């Protein structure tokens, strides 16, 4: 019975993500990546799939992106003001994120704020239209999610009713936590605002995830796990792209291949628990993004996928080096004070 339930979950995840990604391609949106980003986040991180729960999950991201657009337009010729206001926003978000659930909820609004700021600085894209497409993508994601859950409902069995939901205890967000988050995220945004490197914007996702951890041990775990999943996801995307080569414009073939790939990862995720489930969820997101970002009917986007993998490796390598350097300093200080 459990096997059947896990397969049902894998099918829900597969159909939701695949249909949304296909919609992004077929509707010819200027930014189809949102129809890979939002459904994957909803299906891997979501807990409440009611209409209210889905809106509550995605609405803060829309508000953050809209506010970022207003700030970017008002102070377009004053990037330092934009950066300063962004720091205030990041700090307020971090100050309120006092448990793992709120930390997870902080990721998408923070990243979408950065995305809007960077793209408004370095591109000539119609940013109000991008906000419009964000809203369209969220609406499609909610509708497809509800449809798939109606077609493949989650059964209520006695052993499932006895499963305990994880309890998240609140922790004190110290000034040190806020300083680390503000330093890493703020420096990342400053770099992206100064250097015209649009492709590196998505590298801020693992930076935000690592910078908002409460302990050094969890910081290192996030960096190591993201290095495995993000770069590994790019490698899987490359293999998928090569298998699609020359046929990616055949919708039926593309849909079948994409659905099969999503199902393999989703099936492994459905059978996993705890940290291993998170590993598969991160891998799923890391695999879908480059496929939706770079593969078109006329281009495979292999070079862009390789570049993405390299940028992620460098970014996570820098975070790991910073962790090691500060660890060495802390160890030296402890030895100094213990041996006067």
In angstroms, rounded to a whole number, what is the distance separating the alpha carbons of residues 111 and 161?
A: 35
Placement of tokens 């190591």 in the chain: 224
Confidence of residue 180 (pLDDT cuts 50, 70, 90): very high
92-112 residue pLDDT tens: 999 998 888 888 889 999 999
What pLDDT is recorded for position 79?
93
In angstroms, rounded to a whole number, what is the distance separating the alpha carbons of residues 151 and 161?
A: 21
The predicted model gives 272-299 an average pLDDT of 88
The average confidence (pLDDT) of the chain is: 87
Higher pLDDT, 123 or 334: 123
Placement of tokens 């949102």 in the chain: 34
In angstroms, rounded to a whole number, what is the distance separating the alpha carbons of residues 87 and 81?
A: 10
Higher pLDDT, 172 or 239: 239
In angstroms, rounded to a whole number, what is the distance separating the alpha carbons of residues 122 and 186?
A: 18
pLDDT at 44 over 50: yes
Alpha helices in the chain (DSSP H): 2-26, 34-45, 51-74, 79-96, 100-122, 127-151, 158-161, 175-194, 204-211, 216-244, 251-271, 274-294, 302-338
Confidence of residue 161 (pLDDT cuts 50, 70, 90): very low
Dihedral sign for Cα atoms in the order 166, 169, 175, 176? negative
Task: Considering only CA atoms, give the Rg of the chain.
Answer: 20
198-233 residue pLDDT tens: 888 989 999 999 999 998 999 999 999 999 999 999
Dihedral sign for Cα atoms in the order 8, 13, 19, 22? negative
Long-range pairs for 125-133: beta carbons < 8 A, 24 or more residues apart: 125/30, 126/30, 127/69, 127/72, 127/73, 128/69, 129/30, 130/30, 130/31, 130/69, 131/62, 131/65, 131/66, 131/69, 133/29, 133/30, 133/31, 133/34
Helices 34-45 and 274-294 cross at an angle (nearest 10°) of 170
Helices 216-244 and 204-211 cross at an angle (nearest 10°) of 160
298-321 residue pLDDT tens: 778 889 999 999 999 999 999 999
Q: Read off the pTM.
A: 0.88
Burial class of residue 70, CB neighbours in 10 A (0-12, 13-18, 19+): exposed
* Structural tokens at position 16: 């939701």
Picking from 329, 298, 51, the residue whose alpha carbon sits closest to that of residue 216 is 329
């Amino acid at each position: 019975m459990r096997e059947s339930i896990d397969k049902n979950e894998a099918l829900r995840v597969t159909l939701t993500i695949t249909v949304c990604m296909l919609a992004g391609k077929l509707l010819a949106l200027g930014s189809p990546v949102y129809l890979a980003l939002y459904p994957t986040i909803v299906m891997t991180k979501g807990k409440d799939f009611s209409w209210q729960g889905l809106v509550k999950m995605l609405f803060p991201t829309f508000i953050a992106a809209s506010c970022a657009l207003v700030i970017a337009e008002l102070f377009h010729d004053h990037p330092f003001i934009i950066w300063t206001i962004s720091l205030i926003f990041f700090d307020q978000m971090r100050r309120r994120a006092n448990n793992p659930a709120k930390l997870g909820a902080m990721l998408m609004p923070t990243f979408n704020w950065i995305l809007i700021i960077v793209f408004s600085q370095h591109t000539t894209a119609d940013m109000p239209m991008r906000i419009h497409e964000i809203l369209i993508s969220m609406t499609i994601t909610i509708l497809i999610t509800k449809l798939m859950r109606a077609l493949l409902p989650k059964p209520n069995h006695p052993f499932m009713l006895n499963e305990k939901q994880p309890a998240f205890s609140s922790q004190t967000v110290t000034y040190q936590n806020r300083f680390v988050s503000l330093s890493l995220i703020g420096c990342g945004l400053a770099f992206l605002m100064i250097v015209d490197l649009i492709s590196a914007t998505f590298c801020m996702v693992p930076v935000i995830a690592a910078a908002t951890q409460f302990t050094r041990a969890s910081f290192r775990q996030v960096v190591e796990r993201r290095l495995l999943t993000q770069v590994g996801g790019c490698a899987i995307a490359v293999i998928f792209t090569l298998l699609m080569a020359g046929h990616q414009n055949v919708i039926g073939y593309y849909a079948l291949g994409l659905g099969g790939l999503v199902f393999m990862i989703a099936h492994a995720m459905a059978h996993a628990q705890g940290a291993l489930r998170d590993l598969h969820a991160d891998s799923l997101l890391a695999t879908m993004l480059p496929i939706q970002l770079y593969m078109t009917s006329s281009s495979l986007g292999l070079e862009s996928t390789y570049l993405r993998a390299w940028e992620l490796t460098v970014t996570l390598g820098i975070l790991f080096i910073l962790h090691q350097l500060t660890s060495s300093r802390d160890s030296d200080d402890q030895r100094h004070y213990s041996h006067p």
